Amino acid sequence: MNLNATFLLQAFSFALLIGFTMKFIWPPLLAAIEERQQRIAEGLASAERSQRDLAQAQEQVNEVIKQARGKANEIIEQAHSRGNQIIDQAKLEALAEATRQKAAALAEIDAAAHRAKEELRHQVAGLAVAGAGKLIAREIDPATHKALLDELAAEI
């Protein structure tokens, strides 16, 4: 065979192979490469979106924590305020109870003093009757009368 004809036949076969490759193999290969590039680009975009979402979520978490701390401080302030109100109310109730007990004690003291005065009146009346009986039993002279009255006064 002739070297030129072999060369031409090989060149023609190579051209057919290049044409076949360009027509049937190259487009699916390029499509697969482009699809892979697109998936990688989507993955990178998705990762970037995820990072932005994570940053937004972190900001929201920080805001919620800030609000929760504010609410907790508000609840603590309300608890302190309510505690102070309860203490003030207990003080007022204690003062009212002390006043009531003081009034009851004063009333009891007045009643005891009244009973003591009544008992003293009864004793004085008894002594007066006894003194009058002694006066009548003895002679009635001014010196004896004065002595009996002095004795009665000493007993009272």
Per-residue pLDDT of the chain (156 residues; tens, 9 = 90+): 577 888 899 999 999 999 999 999 999 999 999 999 999 999 999 999 999 999 999 999 999 999 999 999 999 999 999 999 999 999 999 999 999 999 999 999 999 999 988 888 778 777 777 777 776 666 566 677 677 777 777 776
For residue 88, being part of any structural domain is answered with yes
Q: Give me the chain's average pLDDT, please.
A: 87
Q: Which residues form the domain of 136? A: 25-155
40-49 in b/e form (b: 16+ CB < 10 A) is eeeeeeeeee
For residue 10, being part of any structural domain is answered with no
For residue 3, being part of any structural domain is answered with no
For residue 135, being part of any structural domain is answered with yes
For residue 31, being part of any structural domain is answered with yes
Do 148 and 135 contact (CB within 8 A), yes or no?
Answer: yes
How far is Cα 24 from Cα 15, in angstroms, rounded to an integer?
Answer: 14
Phi-psi region of 141 (alpha: psi -120 to 50; beta: other; left: phi over 0): beta
For residue 147, being part of any structural domain is answered with yes
Residues of the chain with pLDDT > 90, as a percent, come to 65
So what's the pLDDT on residue 138? Answer: 60
Count of domains for the chain = 1
For residue 6, being part of any structural domain is answered with no
SS3 156: coil
| CA 113 remoteness from chain centre | 53
> At residue 93, what is the residue type?
E
Query: Angle at CA 24, nearest 5°, toward 22 and 27?
Result: 70
For residue 18, being part of any structural domain is answered with no
